[in-house]
């Protein structure tokens, strides 16, 4: 049996049902931010990952900015690989600091640590990194 690839609409509906309308609005803003920085949204079974597409790379080698799950959590676990793809380490660190500031907590967690992922229901609805359009993250 093939697993589903969740759509944005399905993700937002499940987040709203599982974590409440505030979490759904925060998720929608994060997905809008992804579009503003020309990132790709890749649906999986219970999440959407937001990635930068490297033109010369397969999908498995795209750079993951963050992941939003159907239970209304946010995480990022791959920043420390960005320099391997040609980004300066300073970009990794600045992005991590910006996310930490916007969400008021550490954000570098992955699916192996889901209990530590950021609950979107606790995130501010307006985040500076999303309001500015993310120009500093474009290449």
Residue ranges per structural domain of the chain: 8-123
Model confidence pLDDT, tens digit, residues 4-39 = 789 999 999 999 999 999 999 999 999 998 998 889
Distance between CA atoms of 54 and 67, rounded to whole angstroms?
18
Closest Cα partner for 80 from 67, 99, 68, 64?
Answer: 64
Query: What is the arithmetic mean of pLDDT over 81-100?
Result: 82
Burial of 121 (0-12, 13-18, 19+ CB in 10 A): middle
Compare 92 and 49 and report the one with higher pLDDT.
49
pTM, full prediction: 0.80
């Amino acid at each position: 049996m093939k697993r589903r690839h969740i759509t944005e609409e399905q993700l937002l509906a499940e987040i709203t049902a599982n974590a409440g309308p505030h979490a759904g609005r925060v998720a929608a803003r994060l997905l809008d931010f992804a579009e503003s920085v020309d990132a790709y949204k890749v649906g999986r079974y219970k999440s959407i990952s937001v990635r930068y597409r490297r033109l010369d790379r397969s999908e498995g080698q795209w750079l993951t900015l963050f992941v939003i799950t159907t239970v209304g959590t946010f995480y990022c676990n791959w920043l420390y690989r960005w320099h391997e793809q040609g980004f300066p380490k300073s970009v990794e660190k600045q992005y991590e600091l910006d996310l930490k500031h916007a969400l008021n907590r550490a954000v570098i967690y992955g699916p192996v640590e889901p209990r530590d992922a950021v609950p979107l229901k606790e995130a501010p609805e307006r985040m500076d990194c999303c309001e500015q359009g993310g120009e500093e993250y474009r290449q």
